[in-house]
Structures are given as C-alpha cells and as structure tokens.
Structure 1
Amino acid sequence: MTDPRRAIPSVSALLELAEVRELQQIAPRGVVVDAVRRVLDDVRQGAPTPAADAGWAARISSAVARAQRPSLRPVLNATGVVLHTNLGRAPLAESAVRAIRAVASGFSNLEYDLAGGTRGSRHAHCVGLLRELTGAEDAVVVNNGAAAVMLALNTLADGRDVIVSRGELVEIGGSFRVPDIMAKSGARLVEVGTTNRTHLADYERAIGPGTGAIVKVHRSNFAIDGFVAEVGVADLVELAASHGLPVLHDLGSGLMIPLDAIGLTGEPTAADIVRAGPTLVAMSGDKLLGGPQAGLLVGSAAAIERVRANPITRAVRVDKLTIAALEATLALYREPRQALAEIPTLRMLGTVVEELHERAHAIRRRLHPTRDVTVVATEATVGGGAFPTARIRSVALSIGGDAEALDARLRTGEPAVVGRISGGRMLLDLRAIPPRDDHALAGALSRALDA
C-alpha cells in the first residue's frame, strides 16, 4: 500500500507556488514559511490533503491571514450585558477617542508645566474635573480600580488592622477577591458582623490600638435581601472620627450622575459618598463612568498628598492615553444631558425599547425570509458590578437551529459577534449594539447562517 504522506509536498515546493510567491510580496516571508509548515503539520496529523496546488495555496493563504490578525479585535456585544467585563467594559465616547488620537501621535505635556517651563506631574491632570464633579478636596488617578484600593490601604494602614464587614468581602470577576487585595496592601484584615447583618457596635468593638482604618466596600455584582442590616458610610465616618481613624469607601462603579431618568435607581453617586465624609473614595473609570480603565481616588487633600508620595503610586501610574480619554469623559459630565447622550454606556442603557424593536425588525428584513429568526422581548443587565438586581427591557433576535454551531460561527466571524444561548436558541440582544453596527450585525448573522 502506498503511504499517502509521500504525496505531501515539501516546504520549498509549496513556497514556489505562484499564489504563495505572491503572498510573500504582501506578508513577511517568515510568516508565510510558518504558515506553510502549519498547513503541512495539519495534513500529517490527519487533515484532508488538498487535491491540487490551488487547494494548498488557499489553505496557506488562510493560515497567513490568521497569523496576521490582531489578537485584540473589535466585537459586537449582543449578550445583553452592557458593561461586559470580558468584552472590554465601557466603549469610549467620540470625544475621548479624539482626545486619545490628539496625544497619541506626538508629544504632550504629560509631565511638563507649559506655563512655567518646568517639570510637571502627570497627577495634575484630571484633578480639577474630579474635584468639581465629586466635591472632593483632591484626587489622584492610577491604572485600575483594584490598584486604587490597594494603594489607599497601603497608604492609610500598612502594617495595621483594617475593619470591614463580612458581608462586604466580595469576589468579583476572575476569582478576584477583595480580601486578597487587602492582604497584599500590607494591612491586616479584621472581619466584623455576619454575612447578612453588621451593626455599628460590631465595628466599635473591633477598634483597638492596632487599628489603622475602617473600610466600606460596595457589594458590586450581587445584593443581599431579607433579614439584613448594614452600617452607612456617614455613621462609619462619625465612629472613625471619634477614634481618630480614616475611612476608605470602595465605591466600585464610579457613578457620576443619578440615572433615575433612564429608570435606574438606588446607586449612590460619587458626590453622594464624598459628602458623607470618608477620608478616601475609590472607584473605577471604565464601568458606569464610561471612560478608560483607571482607578480614581478622591478625598481629603492630606490623604491624597500621602497617596502621591507613596512609592507604589509610580508602579500603578496611568499613561497619557488613559489621561486623555478620562479627561474627555469627565468633561461630558459637566452637563448631565450631554453625558447621557454622548457616553455610549449611558446612551445604551437609556435607549427606549421601542427603538430596539424597530431596529430588530429592520435587521430581520435583511435576512432571507425562510430563516428561523424572530424578534423577541428579553431582559438586559447593566453589568460591571453596578445595579446588580436591575433588569432592563430589551429586544433580541432569536435564531433556531444548532445554537452551539451558530454561536461558534458568529464568534469566529468578521466582525466577531458574541451573543447568548437560551432555551436552545441563539439570542442576539440589541441593547449594547450601537445603531451604526446594525448593518454589520445583519451581515455577520447572514454569513453565519449560510455557512
């Protein structure tokens, strides 16, 4: 019997094919050679052997395209979770994108005082806006929310006890636990109360000579109902003041304005918390705030000055692109109506369901009429550790057939589309799809159904 592997061409033979030689004119030779070797390895491992040179060339071309595709790709978020952590959280406002572009292609005054002609500080940027919007005395920006919490704890209570309610020792995405962050800060965690009930007296009994701070943590992505009790930040501030202790409030999502107008209630704004008087408030830039990934610390001038002087601050500092995007995003909050209209996250959350219905039916009309695709009412969520119990009326395209296979084709298509499977059907929720992407979504779905 003839060994079929004898029919497999050599690397050099495939590189001499006309189509593959053309590939070497538009792609680095090393990439093409690696693609040829991968295709040959696949065949040796059992993949079908192309019947002709054209088949080999097509497979090599596909391998080259995959190798050159960026690992970070745009995705259409049809999950119904607006602030989806795995999909990059908040998309940026156009003004933030323009701000990034303005400073990315050249030099900037990142750490230079243009007025005085002397060295400046990157920590001077965004401070004025954060003071204006939150009412805090001072502010500092670092590269993510967890870093802000760790930095604050290290500054306020390194080597000392920090008191926190057991009901607030949360775990967020990726098995990332607040107690672990606290431990790495150098502070010693002291738990008080129970999972569902913590009283002011619990905190007071835990205060001792080794206490460095009292901490309150926003529960982020869950809520406790029923027989519950917790202590408000204002009461904690009063207790801490009587013992000469600082208070850190980890606010989480960074809500800057009330969202009652779009039906979301119950979350405190950053200004609400600052007015209650904690020493420091930590929040994220890329959740409800709608900006880039960043950790924001606002609070007393004395505490922020200590944070700036902490050597860890340099290790978690932000770059010029983050500063540019954050400043542009914060500026939109000077006029709340403008923020609701121009910050994509807020605009998505506020889109009326009737508009989603119209768009969904328009997309359905672009598909072949025989396809098993219907428009259905569904519920979306905020995500990003904000409004965990809120359910937002939404609309989705519901597609029948092999849901798992369709899901895979949508995820690996161009553009990539990520939806969800429910009741054996593929659902593509429009809540987090911008109207400008409706055409792209229709095309991606059509190609996936035809494949």
Structure 2
Amino acid sequence: DAAREAIAAGDPGSARTAAEARARTMLQPVVNATGVLLHTNLGRAPLAASTDGRASNIELDLASGKRGSRTAHAGALLARAMDAEAAIVVNNCAAAVLLTLAALAGGGRGVAVSRGELVEIGGGFRVPDVMAQSGARLIEVGTTNRTRAADYRSAMDVDDDLALLLKVHRSNYTISGFTEETSVAALAQLGPPVVVDLGSGLLDAGCPWLDHGPPSWLAEEPAAKQTLKAGADLVLFSGDKLLGGPQAGVIAGRADLVRACAAHPLYRAFRPGALVLSALQDVALAYLDRSAGRLPFWRMAAAEVDDLESRAHRIVEGLAGSAGAEVVSCASVPGGGTLPGVEIPSAGVAVAGDRTGELRAWSPPVIARVEDDRTILDLRTVEPDDDEVVVAALRALDGA
C-alpha cells in the first residue's frame, strides 16, 4: 500500500519511509522502562503465552466425547487456588461486574453501594452507568467518607426487593481523614448476597508463591481468598493486574451464583476464547504449584533493589561514557489502577534531557519516563534479558 501511494504521489523514494512508519503503528514488543509494573498502555501484566496451532478441547469432554464447558478449565483451577466453590472467566473485570449485576439483580432489583465506592476508572467506566446498563437499580447508602452497616440495613428496611450488597474496592484513589467503611464480614451478617469488586486481583494475601512472603507495599491490598473467607458470596477481579495473567475478568465464589452468571445470555457475549483461557489456565496452575513467583509480574514485583542497582552499574559500564548515563535510585509504581499512592524502591539509569522520543524509535522500542529534565530508565520493569537492548538504545543516543 505504501509503495502504491508513493508512486501515485510521484515520489516512489518515500515508500520505504512510509512503510516503516506504518509498521510502527502495528502491535509489537516493547521494553517497558517506565517503572510502572502494570502499565495500561503497555498491556498491563506482561505474559509469555504460546500455542502449538492445534485445536483444543475448550468445549469437549474428553472422557465422554460429549460437549463440555469452557468453565471447566481455567475457571475451575482459579476457584481451587482461592478456595472458592466455583469460578468463571469473562473478557475483563468490567464485563464481570456487568454480567453479575444483570444475572443477579436485573429487571430493576436493588443493589446497595456506598456513596464512597461509586467509582470511575480509566476509560469512563462508572459504577452507576454499569448498574443502569445491567438493569439493576442503584441504591446509594452512607456518605462519601463514612458508611456503616446501619446504612445498608436502613436500605434493606425500606426496599423489599434488594438483591445484592455491592462493595467496590477503591483501587485507583484513596479517601483519608474522617472516614469509616463497612467490612465484608459485617456486610455478610446482613442477609443479602455480598458481591465484592476487588478489581486488582490479588489472589492470596499470604503470597505463598514468593520465597519471602508478600512485599510490604501489598499490606493493605484485599485478596480474593481472604475476601471470600470473610463472608463475600462473590468476588470479581481482573486477570491482567496483580494476578499476572492475560486480560480477563473472574467471577468466583458461591457455586449457585456463579452458575446463574454463566446461564445469563450476556455470558456468551463476554466469554473469552481458547487463547485467553489457555494462558489463564497456565497462570492458575502456576499458583497451584507455588511457582507463580516466576510469572513476569511477580519477578518484577519481588526484585531486590541491590540486584537492580547491580544491573544499572553493568549497563553504565557497558556504555563506557556514552550518553552521559548514570546510575540513579528511583521509585516504581504498581500502576493499572491498583494501589494508589504506593511507591516501590527501585534503581535505574538516567540521561540528561528528554530522550524518550529517540528511545521509542529504537527497535524494539524502549519506553522510559522523564523526571526533573532527565530521562529515567527504571530497571524494575525491564527484563534482565533486555539489558543489552537498553545499552544499545542508549549508546545510539550519542549518534542521534
């Protein structure tokens, strides 16, 4: 196409430049040196997945030869990993919320939500809007900063068709000061099913897949296993955030409620295909055999600062003075709408000025950030195998 357009314009020599520019608009691997572990613009959790090109038994029961269910693979394994009765997978957490509300509270039934949890996340996703699309009826309780169990109880007293109590984790902002919120355990005592939208998807607060337990910066993050144990009937979360898997949404908890979601017509519209389910199955198996620490996200999250500093020194030494690079201490962030305000100590390499455009033009593109008129390449989010790519990209800056 680029060649035809260049010839038609009377400038055939521009075809290569046009073709290269067009190629750069295609999906391709990049080196994430931003320090944002779950960078939404870069696909959130990095994950290597492959298939051998054969068909799969996505909906075939191999024992009987009859039609099976796509909920029997990744969903069942994830349920086991968090001690849930059952789980199903949809294409993202927004779909999980919409499907749950439509299946369990559609037709105008009431859903009570704290005013302090009527959140908006990236892309304009607002809880009240999703509620309206689902056919459920929003019942606001409490105030922005303080919501008590009595507020939910009052809503139950005046509404004889209240179907659910919905608790939404404020994963992308915080409320501090004169605050109070109702725990999952307290909500579970009130009667109606409790649905908790965890969003970020930490599977188990104990992080048994990590040799040294959970990082300190995860201390306040609610986890699926413990939320269910506290009394939630369903938990909803993303697959591509703290779970470290592909883009997906998970609905897990009581088997009867999960079945109701799977039986709703929207499930067919929201269900993922074999590629996503296969990748998520591998992730679930990694949690079950305690090897999830080897998932790319958890390798980044658990990296020791001393190791990052050592890598940074090797990079600067490899540059031998090129680009004026120096080793710096810096701070990474979880990203992806998770853990607002949390910073993770890190180390990286800095060069003077804003050189991000030149780094993006490298092959593969290196994505960095600018702070205080310096370009920072945060090594927490760079795979060690890509350190040589960083060296080559920085060395090329001298000839730019």
How does the TM-score come out when normalised to structure 2? Answer: 0.93
Cα gap change, 1:38 to 1:157, in 2 (>3 Å): farther
What is the identity, as a one-letter code, of the residue corresponding to 2:381? A
1:114-193 aligned at under 5 Å gives the runs 114-158=62-106, 159-193=108-142
What is the identity, as a one-letter code, of the residue corresponding to 2:358? R
What is the identity, as a one-letter code, of the residue corresponding to 1:101? T
* Aligned residues: CA RMSD: 1.8
- Which residue of 1 is the match for residue 20 of structure 2? 65
1:43-442 aligned at under 5 Å gives the runs 57=13, 59-69=14-24, 71-92=26-47, 94=48, 97=49, 100-102=50-52, 105-158=53-106, 159-207=108-156, 208-239=159-190, 241=191, 245-257=192-204, 258-259=206-207, 260-263=213-216, 264-336=218-290, 338-340=291-293, 342-369=294-321, 371-401=323-353, 403=354, 406-442=355-391
Structure 1: distance between partners of 2:75 and 2:42 = 29
Structure 2: distance between partners of 1:283 and 1:237 = 19
Cα gap change, 1:369 to 1:198, in 2 (>3 Å): same
Structure 2: distance between partners of 1:69 and 1:78 = 19
Structure 1: distance between partners of 2:398 and 2:185 = 56
Structure 2: distance between partners of 1:334 and 1:248 = 24
Structure 2: distance between partners of 1:234 and 1:270 = 14
Q: 2:4 aligned to 5, 20, 33, which one?
A: 33
Share of identical aligned residues, percent? 46
Deviations 1:220-240 (A, max 9, x none): 11222221100011111111x
What is the identity, as a one-letter code, of the residue corresponding to 1:233? V
Cα gap change, 1:132 to 1:374, in 2 (>3 Å): same
Deviations 1:281-331 (A, max 9, x none): 111111000011111101111111111110000000110000100000011
**C-alpha contact (below 8 Å) 2:323/2:394 kept by paired residues:** no
What is the identity, as a one-letter code, of the residue corresponding to 2:74? C
The farther-off stretch of 263-272 and 80-89 is 263-272
Structure 2: distance between partners of 1:178 and 1:134 = 25
What is the identity, as a one-letter code, of the residue corresponding to 1:163? A
What is the identity, as a one-letter code, of the residue corresponding to 2:131? M
What is the identity, as a one-letter code, of the residue corresponding to 2:396? R
**Which secondary structure state, in structure 1, belongs to the residue aligned with residue 84 of structure 2?**
coil
**C-alpha contact (below 8 Å) 2:146/2:180 kept by paired residues:** yes
Structure 1: distance between partners of 2:17 and 2:335 = 36
Cα gap change, 1:449 to 1:157, in 2 (>3 Å): farther
C-alpha displacement of 1:64: 2.4
Cα gap change, 1:164 to 1:82, in 2 (>3 Å): same
Gaps of 5+ in 1: 1-29, 41-55
Deviations 1:134-156 (A, max 9, x none): 11111111111100011001111
C-alpha displacement of 1:67: 3.2
Structure 1: distance between partners of 2:326 and 2:276 = 41
Cα gap change, 1:192 to 1:178, in 2 (>3 Å): same
C-alpha displacement of 1:388: 2.2
**C-alpha contact (below 8 Å) 2:323/2:395 kept by paired residues:** no
What is the identity, as a one-letter code, of the residue corresponding to 1:140? I
The farther-off stretch of 320-329 and 363-372 is 363-372
Count of residue pairs the alignment pairs up = 390
Structure 2: distance between partners of 1:269 and 1:191 = 25
Cα gap change, 1:390 to 1:160, in 2 (>3 Å): same
What is the identity, as a one-letter code, of the residue corresponding to 2:123? G
Structure 2: distance between partners of 1:448 and 1:170 = 43
Structure 2: distance between partners of 1:364 and 1:265 = 34
- Which residue of 2 is the match for residue 17 of structure 1? none
Structure 1: distance between partners of 2:134 and 2:116 = 20
Structure 1: distance between partners of 2:399 and 2:10 = 26
Gaps of 5+ in 2: 208-212
What is the identity, as a one-letter code, of the residue corresponding to 1:252? G
**C-alpha contact (below 8 Å) 1:420/1:427 kept by paired residues:** yes
C-alpha displacement of 1:68: 4.2
C-alpha displacement of 1:385: 2.8
Structure 1: distance between partners of 2:116 and 2:363 = 44
Structure 1: distance between partners of 2:306 and 2:215 = 14
**C-alpha contact (below 8 Å) 1:152/1:280 kept by paired residues:** no
Structure 1: distance between partners of 2:95 and 2:398 = 44
What is the identity, as a one-letter code, of the residue corresponding to 1:314? R
C-alpha displacement of 1:278: 2.1
Structure 1: distance between partners of 2:344 and 2:24 = 35
Structure 2: distance between partners of 1:423 and 1:65 = 32
Cα gap change, 1:38 to 1:380, in 2 (>3 Å): farther
**C-alpha contact (below 8 Å) 1:39/1:60 kept by paired residues:** no
C-alpha displacement of 1:339: 1.2
**Which secondary structure state, in structure 2, belongs to the residue aligned with residue 250 of structure 1?**
strand
Whose radius of gyration is greater, 1 or 2? 1
- Which residue of 2 is the match for residue 11 of structure 1? none
